[in-house]
Amino acid sequence: MAAIFLFPLVFPESYWITVFIYVGIYGLIVVGYDLLLGYCGQISLGHNALFAIGAYATAIATTWFGWSPIFGIIGGICITCLIAFVVGIPTLKLRGYYLAIATMGFAFIVEALIRTQYLGGSSGISGIPHFSVLAYTFDSDRSYYYLVWSIVFLAAIVCLRIGETALGRSMKAVHTDEEAAGCMGINVAKTKIQVFVFSAALAAIAGSLYAHYGTVISPNSFNIMLSVKLLLMLFLGGAGSIYGGLIGALILFALPEFLEHMERLELVLEGLVFMLILIFLPKGLVGGLNQMLNLK
């Protein structure tokens, strides 16, 4: 953790700062996604859409209506949560792959909508202002880095707290046996919708951070591959551990940078790493590491 906060001081002006900002943004989604999938066992392939809604909401609010970014972000969170709530009620009644397919359907609808001319078409929305609070503008990479990672750590701590309390246990209970969980007094439908909306809020924050950092957004950044990558990050790092997803995000975004010169091999290597980890470390890197430490 200290390493992450010292990093920009040791390597100022580094290209890696940009990489790490994106690691943080995607890590933020994964942290919430872990509560949904790792704890509660509900798979969503629609998180790219929630991320997109957060990004587009603040982009539209700030560029078209001249809102200040902070209100754009808050508006984005509200609208994303509302949409997640409405979408979640019918879809979360489904289980397993049915839920995956239904949420994917939602993602396709959102993707089709943001590709329409009304929302900027395939070139998206540009001229999004930098994030600013009161008089301070986060226009340098280093300031944005600290902003993003502060939010990530805050979110991770909150998620860990949720995971440790009765909320986390009720999610895990719903994960293993919905009917038995119901007989323990757990409102299964409510548990699922709450965690879905909560993870949507984090995806929306990540989306708006993404929009205000790049200042340009286009539909290509929000396609279904993003949801697939979320799955990769989560299982790579270890589902159900919260910070495992962050490590997964780090590997998935930092690895391609190392392999820059062998771009064609990128997907092959990613796929290979993913398969090997699932076969040999089904609990992810964090789970595997814990196991090794316990053996000693």
Residues found near other proteins in the complex (CB under 8 A): 158, 161-162, 164-167, 169-170, 172-173, 175-177, 179-188, 194, 198
Minimum CB distance to other proteins smaller for 170 or for 221: 170
Identify which of residues 145 and 198 has a Cβ nearer to other proteins in the complex: 198
The answer to whether 38 and 156 have CB atoms below 8 angstroms apart is no
- Amino acid present at 259: L
**Across-strand partners of 137?**
132
Specify whether the CB–CB gap between 245 and 34 falls below 8 A. Answer: yes
Other CB atoms within a 10 A radius of the CB of residue 168 amount to: 20
Q: Measured from the CB of residue 68, what is the shortest distance to other proteins in angstroms?
A: 25
Half-sphere exposure in the Cβ direction for 74 (13 Å, CA):
6
Euclidean distance between CA atoms 141 and 127, whole angstroms = 17
Residue in this structure with the two tokens 């998180």, named with its chain if needed: 47
Q: How far is the CB of 179 from other proteins (least distance, A)?
A: 6
Which CB sits closer to other proteins, 114 or 152? Answer: 152
Question: HSE of 62 in the Cβ direction (CA atoms, 13 Å)?
Answer: 29
What is the amino acid identity at position 80?
T
Choice between 23 and 159, CB closer to other proteins:
159
At closest approach, how far in Å is the CB of 181 from other proteins?
7
**DSSP-assigned beta bridge partners for residue 125:** 217
Question: What are the phi and psi torsion angles at 141 (to 5°)?
Answer: -60, -40
Q: Which is nearer to other proteins, 180 or 268 (CB)?
A: 180
Residue (154 or 275) nearer to other proteins, CB:
154
Minimum CB–partner distance for residue 180 and other proteins (Å): 4
Q: Provide the minimum distance between the beta carbon of 165 and other proteins in the complex, in angstroms, as a whole number.
A: 5
CB of 80 to other proteins, least distance (A): 16
Pairwise CA distance, residues 76 & 11, whole Å: 33
